[in-house]
């Protein structure tokens, strides 16, 4: 009679031996026995000092819209929560915070980023990566963050910097909220939704948005649309640009060239592009 228990017998054979996560884990275990970790581990590191092993420590795909949102946060001067790393000999390996890492990279951050060290074994680190992603709560939508910032503005007891940091909005957006608050007066407390409050203020005499506020509004509306697309399509469009191009062609029709022209503003500069033109 076979007795079942909670321990799974390790699989054997060539297939499992060539499975990338298994070979990576075996390599890490070997390193822990041959190379001692350095003394005095720093709590801030340059990106170049952090190694990536997504096949072992990244349980889910990368959400491009989330990376874009985090990149905007980093570019605004804010520091994200520490990424979690595990020290294996002389190497520091990322186990949680891949979206944050990529956001720092895209933002061109040259300073040090905050890290926290996982104190368990490498086996436990693999499990911790899964737990951390499972615990991750859905981030607040753009509208939810704006409404939260609007609530803090109406409370009247927080600085602009603290509101921007807590709600993850720009200083300019908080400044516009304060201006709307002055225009509406007591009416502001009847509007819990920021967009409704702004619309009400726009109808008041003398409430004309500045050029900066117009730009902020366009950025906000674009972020709201991006949120909606992420909820409907998840990562399907971001991971299949060819399919996205077909969908955009059908949606925009004759306006597709206009879209292509505007997209040029958001394309990253390619290093060596000018050099290639000479050949």
37-86: pLDDT as tens digits:
777 899 999 999 999 988 778 766 777 888 888 898 888 888 889 999 99
* Size of the chain, expressed as the number of residues it contains: 279
Which residue in 62, 59, 84, 61 sits closest to 71, CA to CA? 62
Q: In order of start, what are the domains of the chain with their CATH numbers?
A: 14-33+42-135 (3.90.1530.10), 142-235 (no CATH)
262-279: pLDDT as tens digits: 888 888 765 554 444 444
Which range, of 133-142, 143-152, 182-191, 234-243, averages the lowest pLDDT? Answer: 133-142
**Which pLDDT does position 207 carry in this prediction?**
65
**Which pLDDT does position 1 carry in this prediction?**
43
Which range, of 17-26, 212-221, 269-278, averages the lowest pLDDT? Answer: 269-278
CA distances from 262 to 23, 143, 165, 274 (A): 46, 25, 30, 21
Give the pLDDT band of residue 226 (cuts 50, 70, 90).
confident
* Backbone φ, ψ for residue 96 (5° rounding): -150, 135
120-175: pLDDT as tens digits: 888 888 878 877 765 555 466 788 888 888 888 888 878 888 888 878 788 888 99
**pLDDT greater than 80 at residue 185:** yes
Average pLDDT over residues 1-29: 60
Which residue in 197, 203, 219 sits closest to 153, CA to CA? 197
* Backbone φ, ψ for residue 62 (5° rounding): -90, 130
CA 269 to chain centre: 21
Residues 6+ apart with CB under 8 A from 198: 176, 180
DSSP designation for 253? G
Say if residues 229 and 66 touch (Cβ distance below 8 Å). Answer: no
* Dihedral of the alpha carbons of 70, 73, 75, 79, in degrees to the nearest 10: -100
């Amino acid at each position: 009679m076979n007795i079942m228990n909670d321990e799974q017998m390790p699989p054997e054979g060539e297939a499992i031996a060539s499975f990338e996560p298994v070979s990576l884990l075996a390599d890490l275990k070997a390193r822990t026995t041959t190379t001692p970790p350095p003394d005095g581990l720093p709590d801030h590191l340059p990106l170049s000092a952090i190694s990536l092993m997504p096949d072992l420590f990244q349980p889910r795909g990368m959400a491009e819209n989330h990376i874009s949102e985090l990149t905007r946060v980093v570019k605004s001067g804010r520091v994200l929560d520490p990424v979690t790393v595990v020290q294996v000999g002389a190497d520091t390996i990322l186990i949680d915070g891949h979206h944050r890492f990529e956001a720092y990279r895209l933002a061109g951050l040259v300073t040090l980023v905050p890290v926290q060290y996982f104190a368990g074994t490498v086996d436990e680190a693999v499990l911790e990566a899964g737990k951390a992603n499972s615990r991750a709560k859905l981030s607040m939508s753009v509208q939810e963050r704006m409404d939260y910032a609007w609530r803090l503005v109406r409370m009247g007891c927080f600085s602009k910097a603290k509101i921007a940091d807590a709600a993850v909005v720009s200083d300019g957006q908080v400044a516009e909220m304060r201006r709307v608050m002055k225009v509406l007066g007591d009416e502001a407390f009847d509007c819990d939704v920021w967009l409704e409050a702004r619309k009400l203020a726009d109808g008041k005499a003398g409430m004309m948005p500045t050029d900066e506020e117009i730009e902020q509004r366009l950025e906000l509306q674009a972020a709201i649309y991006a949120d909606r697309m992420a909820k409907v399509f998840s990562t399907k469009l971001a991971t299949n640009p060819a399919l996205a191009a077909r969908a955009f062609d059908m949606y925009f029709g004759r306006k597709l060239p206009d879209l292509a022209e505007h997209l040029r503003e958001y394309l990253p500069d390619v290093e060596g592009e000018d050099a290639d033109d000479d050949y």
